[in-house]
């Protein structure tokens, strides 16, 4: 069987690319080794899919994306914007809402988004179509005079174009593999070392013991990592876990954190702790923990004062030095993670196919007719819908560039 394009991976980028290509009149084969379609969309955003972000500025991609060349994604993002995807949802009458910071979610369920992508695949132009094979594994890929020959579990197919949309290594329990990286290596393309991103951070068991009791506690914080020139900071919610820290604040900073380096936390970013504690000392006889509970969650206040005998007394009996030390530690808590929860808990994979080997206009690689889109590429967005927008934009750029081959002409 011959197709104009074979797209390996039926997730966000793969399905979107297939639909657009078919609407251009191409005959497309979409295949995936998983029996379920777009499972990562289904579980994202608490089951409601944070599908894009209104705040994305395609003129300044480095604000919300990382990679060895964060400007690589500017071309695709500027040609398919969040507004373009919002318009698509509106055409399909899918209700959505903005949660905060530009993050857009489906009102009902992420399944609305999946069904929309499948309907887009079914709406090919004259001669255009999407054939879907799932579950279907790819056993081998070869390139020759007739283009690509792909050995699959359902037989060998030929195509002039091969699109890899298999994602990264994150969440292997729903089918993530290194297939895309292996294909890149097979055809001599470079890889930026993959690593978990948007992932919880972990700490040494003994050192973390005093804080393990806080598991489940969430609070707004300011979090930082890096030296002056490379410093990154986020104002988001923090979540204590039995093994370390999670929540949006930590997921965001994890993409910038380097192993062996530290992070800094302000646990009461809205408060002037030195002034508040000085006022309490002058006006109150309550325990320090009770006064502190007006500024941070009471569980945190109780756990915090256990770290120093000078903090386990009425506030009016505490020394200025002890209160200043308490304020300093709460507003500048410095700690060094020992690692992350890994790909099992990572929302995305940083690194991937080196953008130096890809066209920013078409996502075609140095290997003619071989394209890479979505998470498999060394483009990683912030938490909050940015990675999905990269999936839509890179898929659109690729689909618009795919040449119509003999199958479409026939």
200-341 and 2-196+350-409 share a CATH fold: no
Query: What pLDDT is recorded for position 404?
Result: 85
Spatial CB neighbours of 143, under 8 Å, sequence gap ≥ 6 = 149, 187, 367, 369, 370
Measured between alpha carbons, how far is 408 from 124 in angstroms, rounded to an integer?
A: 12
Helices (H) and strands (E) in the chain, counts: 14, 21
Helix, strand, or coil (residue 270): coil
Q: Is 22:29 a contact under the CB 8 Å cutoff? A: no
Measured between alpha carbons, how far is 353 from 192 in angstroms, rounded to an integer?
A: 6
What number of other Cβ atoms are within 10 A of residue 334's Cβ? 10
pTM for the model: 0.95
Query: What pLDDT is recorded for position 293?
Result: 96
What number of other Cβ atoms are within 10 A of residue 294's Cβ? 12
Q: Is 50:44 a contact under the CB 8 Å cutoff? A: yes
Q: Where are the domains of the chain?
A: 2-196+350-409, 200-341
Q: Give the CATH number of domain 200-341; options: 2.40.30.10, 3.90.1150.10, 3.20.20.140, 3.30.470.20.
A: 2.40.30.10
**Residues of the chain falling short of pLDDT 70:** 405-410
Query: What pLDDT is recorded for position 207?
Result: 86
Query: What pLDDT is recorded for position 406?
Result: 60
CATH class of 2-196+350-409: alpha beta
């Amino acid at each position: 069987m011959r197709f104009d394009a074979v797209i390996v991976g039926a997730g966000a980028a793969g399905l979107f690319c297939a639909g657009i290509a078919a609407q251009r009149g191409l005959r497309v084969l979409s295949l995936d080794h998983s029996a379920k379609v777009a499972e990562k969309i289904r579980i994202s955003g608490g089951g409601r899919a944070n599908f894009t972000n209104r705040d994305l500025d395609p003129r300044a991609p480095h604000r919300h994306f990382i990679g060895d060349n964060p400007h690589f994604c500017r071309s695709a993002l500027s040609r398919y914007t969040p507004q373009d995807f919002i318009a698509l949802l509106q055409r399909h009458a899918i209700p959505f809402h903005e949660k905060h910071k530009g993050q857009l979610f489906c009102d009902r369920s992420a399944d609305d988004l999946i069904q929309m992508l499948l309907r887009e695949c079914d709406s090919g132009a004259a001669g255009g179509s999407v054939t879907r094979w799932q579950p279907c594994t790819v056993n081998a890929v070869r390139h020759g005079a007739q283009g690509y020959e792909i050995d699959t579990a359902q037989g060998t197919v030929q195509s002039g174009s091969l699109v890899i949309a298999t994602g990264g290594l994150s969440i292997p329990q729903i089918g993530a593999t290194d297939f895309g990286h292996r294909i890149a290596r097979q055809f001599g393309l470079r890889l930026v070392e993959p690593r978990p991103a948007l992932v919880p951070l972990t700490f040494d068991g003994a050192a973390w013991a005093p804080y393990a009791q806080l598991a489940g506690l969430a609070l707004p914080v300011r979090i930082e990592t890096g030296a002056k020139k490379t410093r990154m900071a986020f104002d988001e919610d923090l979540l204590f876990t039995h093994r370390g820290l999670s929540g949006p604040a930590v997921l965001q900073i994890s993409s910038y954190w380097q192993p062996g380096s530290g992070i800094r936390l302000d646990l009461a970013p809205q408060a002037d702790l030195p002034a508040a504690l000085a006022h309490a000392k002058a006006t109150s006889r309550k325990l320090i923990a009770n006064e502190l509970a007006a500024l941070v969650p009471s569980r945190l206040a109780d756990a915090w004062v256990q770290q120093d005998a000078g903090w386990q007394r009425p506030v009016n009996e505490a020394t200025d030095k002890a209160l200043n030390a308490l304020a300093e530690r709460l507003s500048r808590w410095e700690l060094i993670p020992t690692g992350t929860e890994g790909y099992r808990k990572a929302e995305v994979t940083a690194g991937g196919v080196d953008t130096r080997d890809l066209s920013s206009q078409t996502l075609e690689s140095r290997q003619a007719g071989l394209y890479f889109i979505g998470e498999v590429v060394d483009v990683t967005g912030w938490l909050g819908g940015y990675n999905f927008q990269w999936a839509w934009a890179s898929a659109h750029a690729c689909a618009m560039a795919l040449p119509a081959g003999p199958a479409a002409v026939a």
